[in-house]
A and B are shown apart, each in its own frame.
Chain A
Amino acid sequence: MATTVPLIQIKDLYKEYIGQNDKVVALSDINLNINKGDIYGIIGMSGAGKSTLVRCINFLEKPTRGTVIIGDKDLSELNETQLRNVRQKVGMIFQQFNLLMQRNVEDNICFPLEISGMRRKERKKRAAELLEIVGLSDKRLAYPSQLSGGQKQRVAIARALATNPEILLCDEATSALDPTMTRSILGLLKDINNKLGITIIIITHEMAVVEGICDYVAIIDEGHLTEDGKVEEVFSNPKTDAARKLVYHSNNAVKEMTGKKCVRIVFDGKSSFEPVIANMVLECRSQVNILFADTKNIKGKAFGHMVLQLPEDQMQADKIINYLRGKDVNVEELIDYVGN
């Protein structure tokens, strides 16, 4: 198999900020290859350096050392004018949308086209096409202040796509949006990636965003790249502490259960398709320990029994028992099962 040259190569990137009397290392030793057509997630806690990293990709922030190569252009070797030309081919959207508040939707989308020197008539035509793509044709003459957050981000996406970029950088693009809006924006990004083949880099602190649409993910922690690879691989088998912290939210091992109270639950032909125990844990928000289980699935019906160790807290335990009884499962309390 022939190895293709990655579209974006980040090489030995190092960025520090010099303060009054100290220096802060924002990024160090970042190496990353991103292939054409990928949706690449870069995830990290706030302050990890991910926003600096995305700004280094289009050289809005100049790295202290190291470089970024886009296609065949080494950005560290370009002068200001050449850099501006590269940036016209790299779209960017932001958490706060950053639309021009005194321009209407159409003129916002036309803005990058004005910079690239397109004629007025063609600009308008292109803006109409883009509004079609993001589904806002009826808002052409509206001002940003008249739009919802999700609509503003759609305008920002249209604006970022105006110059037919090969790459779209998304800096926390969904962080200011509610879950529904987030899904719809992610859907739009996926769509754009499919239809236009644009490489998308998504900076986020939300796992759901990466799981939702990314093919690859890089985890960044305190300025270091700790892990990268296919999303399934990294998330199913996080190797570093930073990755585990993100994937499991907390790095703490589950505390040993000390409760003495146990219950036996008997399945006698109820539907096996309802995940009773999982639902119970989610609904009651407390943990149980399965001490014994012998269940079978026979033609879609569950048979058998299971012994659960309940939490010590009486209220939590009662809540679980009542939940199970409410589900028509046979529950039998066992005293002193543990330690037998």
Chain B
Amino acid sequence: MWAIEGITVFLSRFVEMLNSIIVGNSMMLLEGTRDSLYMTFVSTLVSYLFAFPIGITLVVTKKGGLHPMKILNRVFDIIVNIGRSIPFLILMIAVIPLTKLIAGKSYGPTATIVPLVIASTPFVARLIESSIQEVDHGVIEAAQSMGASLHEIIFKVLIPEAKTSLIVGATISIGTILSYSAMAGAMGGGGLGDIAIRYGYHRYQGDMMFVTVAIIIILMQLLQMIGMKIANKTDKRVI
């Protein structure tokens, strides 16, 4: 009996505590969430802008690909591998001069987009490469037999046929970039990660850290759910 009572008391105290934190800091938490989403979405979008051509080049110029170009493929491959090997925090520091050049300052959400894009582009390019690679060779051959050009095969066959896999990849990318953006908090990157570090770590407010992390988890769940829903809805291979 006493155990259940104890748990109930603990839970109600816990909820009360969360409540007071959320109510007391609602403005800051809301702004943090907004900043996190802003960084995540803009970075994802810009990364895709760079990663799409890279990913497709990797597939097309591969040995046995549609337009083999050994040296170019090797160069892209190495650049992507280097980009993926550098730990994010180190990369963030390393590109500070570039960040200042582009965003005018090295801290805050907008500035953080620069290292986020640089860090995620190679990763996204690999995801795109593997999605495009999944397209059945027979379908490509059919398009070639109809006299389709390389350009037509890329835009009318490879990308549309890889659609579902690309959407799943985008879902993974958004999740990864969200967690990178939280990591950027350590460097004054803004958003939820920043709040968690400043309050939870520097000011020893464990409860505050708990709430911010919980919000990040919820965001992650939502993004994942929405992404998979879209992927399944648009896939015509399943009846």
Indicate whether A234 reaches chain B with its CB closer than 8 angstroms: no
| B161 touching A87, Cβ below 8 Å | no
| B148 touching A98, Cβ below 8 Å | no
Given A98-B139, A100-B160, answer yes or no on A115-B147 (Cβ-Cβ < 8 Å).
yes
Note all chain A residues with C-beta closer than 8 A to B145. 58, 60, 87, 90-92, 169
Please give the distance in Å from A102's CB to the nearest CB on chain B.
5
| 22 examples of A-B residue contacts, CB within 8 angstroms | A60-B141, A83-B147, A84-B148, A84-B149, A87-B145, A87-B146, A94-B141, A98-B136, A100-B139, A100-B160, A100-B161, A102-B164, A102-B237, A104-B236, A111-B143, A111-B156, A112-B146, A115-B147, A115-B152, A144-B236, A163-B146, A169-B145
| Residue total for A at the interface (Cβ-Cβ under 8 A) | 33
Please give the distance in Å from B146's CB to the nearest CB on chain A.
4
Note all chain B residues with C-beta closer than 8 A to A88. 146-147
Given A84-B148, A143-B236, answer yes or no on A94-B138 (Cβ-Cβ < 8 Å).
yes
Note all chain B residues with C-beta closer than 8 A to A98. 136, 138-139, 141-142
Interface size class of B (residues with CB under 8 A): 20 to 34
Indicate whether B239 reaches chain A with its CB closer than 8 angstroms: yes
Indicate whether A146 reaches chain B with its CB closer than 8 angstroms: yes
Indicate whether A85 reaches chain B with its CB closer than 8 angstroms: yes
Please give the distance in Å from A88's CB to the nearest CB on chain B.
4
State the 6 A-B residue pairs at the shortest beta-carbon distance, nearest first.
A87-B147, A98-B142, A84-B147, A92-B145, A88-B147, A98-B138
* Contact among B136, B148, B164, B236 with A115 in the assembled complex (CB-CB below 8 Å): B148
Indicate whether B198 reaches chain A with its CB closer than 8 angstroms: no
Indicate whether B84 reaches chain A with its CB closer than 8 angstroms: no
Closest A residue to B152 by CB, please name it: A115
* Contact among B148, B160, B238 with A103 in the assembled complex (CB-CB below 8 Å): B160
Closest B residue to A88 by CB, please name it: B147
Closest B residue to A84 by CB, please name it: B147
* Contact among B138, B141, B147, B161 with A102 in the assembled complex (CB-CB below 8 Å): B161
A133 to B235: give the CA distance in the assembly, Å.
Answer: 29
Indicate whether A99 reaches chain B with its CB closer than 8 angstroms: yes
Indicate whether B26 reaches chain A with its CB closer than 8 angstroms: no
Note all chain A residues with C-beta closer than 8 A to B144. 60, 87
| A102 touching B152, Cβ below 8 Å | no
Note all chain B residues with C-beta closer than 8 A to A114. 152, 156
| A96 touching B146, Cβ below 8 Å | no
Indicate whether A101 reaches chain B with its CB closer than 8 angstroms: yes
**Besides A85-B147, A115-B143, A145-B238, 15 new A-B residue pairs in contact (Cβ under 8 A), listed by A number:** A60-B144, A86-B147, A87-B147, A92-B146, A96-B136, A98-B139, A100-B161, A102-B235, A102-B237, A103-B160, A115-B152, A115-B156, A116-B147, A143-B236, A144-B236
Note all chain B residues with C-beta closer than 8 A to A143. 236-237, 239
Given A88-B147, A115-B148, answer yes or no on A94-B236 (Cβ-Cβ < 8 Å).
no
Chain B contacts with A in 198-239, Cβ cutoff 8 A:
235-239
Indicate whether B163 reaches chain A with its CB closer than 8 angstroms: yes
Note all chain B residues with C-beta closer than 8 A to A92. 142, 145-146
A146 to B238: give the CA distance in the assembly, Å.
Answer: 8
- Give a binary string over B147-160; 1 marks a CB under 8 Å from any A CB, 0 the rest: 11100100011001
A160 to B127: give the CA distance in the assembly, Å.
Answer: 33
Chain A contacts with B in 88-125, Cβ cutoff 8 A:
88, 90-92, 94, 96, 98-104, 111-112, 114-116
A163 to B145: give the CA distance in the assembly, Å.
Answer: 12
Note all chain A residues with C-beta closer than 8 A to B148. 84, 115
Note all chain A residues with C-beta closer than 8 A to B160. 100, 102-103
Please give the distance in Å from B57's CB to the nearest CB on chain A.
19
Closest B residue to A95 by CB, please name it: B138
Please give the distance in Å from B126's CB to the nearest CB on chain A.
23
